[in-house]
Chains A and B, each alone.
Chain A
Amino acid sequence: TTLFRSIFFRSMSKALVAVKRVIDYTVKVRVKPDKLGVVKDNVKHSCNPFDEIAVEQAVRLKEKKVLGEVVAVSIGGPKTQEILRNAALAMGADRAIHVKLPADDTEIEPLAVAKILKALADKEKPEFIFMGKQAIDDDSCAAPQMLAALLNWPQGTFLCDMKVEGKKVMVSRETDTGVQKLEVNVPCVLSCDLRLNEPRYAKLPEIMKAKKKPLETIDVKSLGIDVTPRLQTVEVSEPPTRQAGVKVATVEDLVSKLKTEAKVL
């Protein structure tokens, strides 16, 4: 019966993977003239890079038959569907859920994100929720931990390695001084850091196949969750620009300036 249970558990295991549509990392962001945000119109967007790592991790576990199903989730305006199709589903997620916000530039905070994802988790009952460690737009680094807390689940944050062992996950996480190892019960929320894996590039056949995969749209209003921001943005500004310094002629000059002028060597 143990064998049966373990096969049963494995084949039934489900992961939710949350992905976010963000301004592409190669774009130089510019502050809007009203100084209340950054320019998003006609700017290249893509899947948050850390979320691609999360998708990759879940898909690999499915390929190893540790997981039975990978469900991608994203919260955002209409264009969020492109991310779900071209990133998550093309990379190997089985189906997707789009929690639709009114517009592509509607912003919601980690607290609201966590509440929405909790509502989906209550319905989908996954064993694992994979997320990127942070989104490269608001840089909050908060939603995975908040979701774990709302679900009263353990969290494995800043993951650089993991191994599923029955109803537990052996987690290696990046700390400020090295790597911490934890044993985390399933179900859990796992937030993925850079070293965990290198996400695959979805090839054309996968992108074509992804177009046919199921994608369910849920209007955020139907969830009855208040997504009004708690924080008010007073001002968004450009960081102080760094001035170019001097050009030095030789390696000797460089070393000497760093030693005697800048005093950093």
Chain B
Amino acid sequence: MRTARFLLGKALVVVEHNNAKVSPASLSAINAATKFGDVTALVAGKGSKAVADAAAKVNGVKAVIHVDSAEYANLLPENVAPLVQKVQAAQKFSHIVAAHTAFGKSVIPRVAAITDVQPIPDVIKIVDESTFVRPTYAGNAISTVKSTKDPVKLLTVRPTNFDKAAESGGSAAVSAFDAAGEAGTSKWISDEKDESGKPDLTSARVVVSGGRGLKSKENFKILYELADKIPNCAVGATRAVVDAGFVSNDLQVGQTGKVVAPQLYIAVGLSGAIQHLAGMKDSKVIACINNDPDAPIFTVSDYGLQADLFEAVPKMKSLL
């Protein structure tokens, strides 16, 4: 039986945390890893006992390896990767998993290189223990790949594609493991949260995005005013308006910018160029406001309003 064979694996999840809690993305990674078999959570940190205890309670976690040492205080990949390699040498996991976040993307490829394995990044679906689905070309081509040559599969999973494991229900034993030493090549200075009070584009619940139809830098103000009326709403833009200098390039949504998948994407005065669509078409609901009825954005929008944006946007703001 397929499922039985499937569950013979032994997976290690490299946990991302803030010294207090297991990150939500890591909870998704843990849930994804349960598809392979028993899950061991690796919690590295300094003063991170609370995290190890929390990880032990996560549903699906069968064991916790806790390494508490100064070199893991900020989870620098130069230090974490050799530790993962050491844990792997001792326990021979079939799969090593992390979330496809800034942390996972920094650590897993490093582990892969030193263990001579080709990693499988940004997995959106696990077909079986060696077959994985991942997007390429910013989601315009979906690739199914099979890893048969490498003895251990190293993957990062896209957190939004896997439910989070429950934070209760587990009762794993926590065991200590020796630290692997300080690489001494990089030093953490600070983590700075965005000061604007605006949510990050990639994690915002709603994104209001503007295109060439806005006509000028000054006119973007109406999008900011609309965004202020919507909780957890970020402002985005097309490459065309970034190139025109209307907004800075960190607002760019698209294949060469940020790929977003909010609950609601409001496309204002943008036609829907291919590379822009690639960055937002996985949004749950798409609404657009455009005065050109033939704009391609209408073909992907759940709700399309043909209107002059300079009238419609302030009106929309007044209704919220």
**Separation of A139 and B140 alpha carbons in the complex (Å):** 11
- Residues of B within 8 Å of A26, CB to CB, are 273-275
Chain A nearest Cβ from B271, distance in angstroms: 13
> A148 at the A/B interface (Cβ < 8 Å)?
yes
Contact A242 B118 (CB under 8 A): no
Q: Mark B73-113, 1 if CB is under 8 A from A, else 0.
A: 00011100100000000000000000001110110111111
Q: A195-B248, A258-B287, A262-B264 are in contact. Are A153 and B202 (CB under 8 A)?
A: no
Q: Mark A142-166, 1 if CB is under 8 A from B, else 0.
A: 1101111110011111101000000
- Residues of B within 8 Å of A179, CB to CB, are 191-192, 194
Name the contact of B140 in the complex, choosing from A28, A234, A249 (C-beta under 8 A): A28
Q: Which residue of A lies closest to B313 (CB)?
A: A251
> B163 at the A/B interface (Cβ < 8 Å)?
no
Chain B nearest Cβ from A225, distance in angstroms: 12
Which one, B45-53, B56-64, B181-189, is touching chain A? B181-189
**Separation of A147 and B77 alpha carbons in the complex (Å):** 13
Contact A176 B145 (CB under 8 A): no
Chain B nearest Cβ from A50, distance in angstroms: 8
Contact B304 A139 (CB under 8 A): no
Q: Which residue of B lies closest to A146 (CB)?
A: B113
Name the interface residues of B241-297: CB closer than 8 Å to any CB of A: 248-250, 252, 254-258, 263-264, 273-275, 281, 284-287, 289
> B300 at the A/B interface (Cβ < 8 Å)?
yes
Chain A nearest Cβ from B301, distance in angstroms: 6
Contact A235 B316 (CB under 8 A): no
Contact A110 B274 (CB under 8 A): no
> A6 at the A/B interface (Cβ < 8 Å)?
no
**Separation of A143 and B110 alpha carbons in the complex (Å):** 9
Q: Which residue of B lies closest to A178 (CB)?
A: B193
> B120 at the A/B interface (Cβ < 8 Å)?
yes
> B217 at the A/B interface (Cβ < 8 Å)?
no
Name the contact of A155 in the complex, choosing from B77, B188, B249, B319 (C-beta under 8 A): B77
Name the contact of A139 in the complex, choosing from B122, B189, B306 (C-beta under 8 A): B122
- Residues of A within 8 Å of B112, CB to CB, are 111, 142, 146, 149
Contact B263 A264 (CB under 8 A): yes
Contact A264 B192 (CB under 8 A): no
Q: Which residue of B lies closest to A22 (CB)?
A: B137
Name the contact of A254 in the complex, choosing from B118, B256, B316 (C-beta under 8 A): B316
**Separation of A218 and B121 alpha carbons in the complex (Å):** 29
Name the contact of B78 in the complex, choosing from A155, A238, A258 (C-beta under 8 A): A155
- Residues of B within 8 Å of A180, CB to CB, are 102, 188, 190-192
Q: A178-B191, A235-B144, A251-B305 are in contact. Are A28 and B281 (CB under 8 A)?
A: no
Contact A175 B102 (CB under 8 A): yes
Q: A251-B307, A262-B264 are in contact. Are A194 and B187 (CB under 8 A)?
A: no
A-B contact pairs, 28 of them (CB 8 A): A38-B137, A49-B256, A109-B118, A114-B113, A138-B136, A139-B136, A142-B105, A142-B112, A142-B121, A154-B185, A155-B77, A160-B250, A175-B102, A175-B103, A176-B102, A181-B192, A188-B185, A188-B186, A233-B143, A234-B131, A235-B144, A242-B281, A244-B298, A247-B304, A248-B305, A251-B305, A257-B303, A264-B263
Please report the total number of B residues contacting A with Cβ < 8 Å: 94
Q: Which residue of A lies closest to B265 (CB)?
A: A264
8 closest Cβ contacts across the A-B interface?
A245-B302, A146-B113, A230-B118, A149-B113, A145-B109, A154-B185, A142-B109, A154-B186
- Residues of A within 8 Å of B77, CB to CB, are 145, 155
Task: Pick the most buried of A29, A154, A244, A265: most chain B CB atoms within 10 A of its CB.
Answer: A265
Name the contact of A149 in the complex, choosing from B81, B101, B138, B301 (C-beta under 8 A): B81
> A140 at the A/B interface (Cβ < 8 Å)?
yes
Q: Which residue of A lies closest to B18 (CB)?
A: A177
Contact B110 A137 (CB under 8 A): no
Contact A246 B285 (CB under 8 A): no
**Separation of A147 and B8 alpha carbons in the complex (Å):** 33
Contact A265 B230 (CB under 8 A): yes
Contact B117 A230 (CB under 8 A): yes
Contact B145 A29 (CB under 8 A): no
Contact A176 B203 (CB under 8 A): yes
Q: Which residue of A lies closest to B183 (CB)?
A: A154
> B142 at the A/B interface (Cβ < 8 Å)?
yes
Contact A150 B255 (CB under 8 A): no
Q: A177-B194, A235-B143 are in contact. List 13 more A-B contacts (CB 8 A).
A: A111-B113, A141-B105, A142-B121, A143-B109, A145-B77, A145-B113, A178-B191, A179-B191, A233-B143, A237-B141, A239-B140, A254-B289, A264-B285
Q: A145-B110, A264-B264 are in contact. Are A136 and B191 (CB under 8 A)?
A: no
Q: A136-B138, A194-B249, A254-B303 are in contact. Are A175 and B114 (CB under 8 A)?
A: no
> B69 at the A/B interface (Cβ < 8 Å)?
no
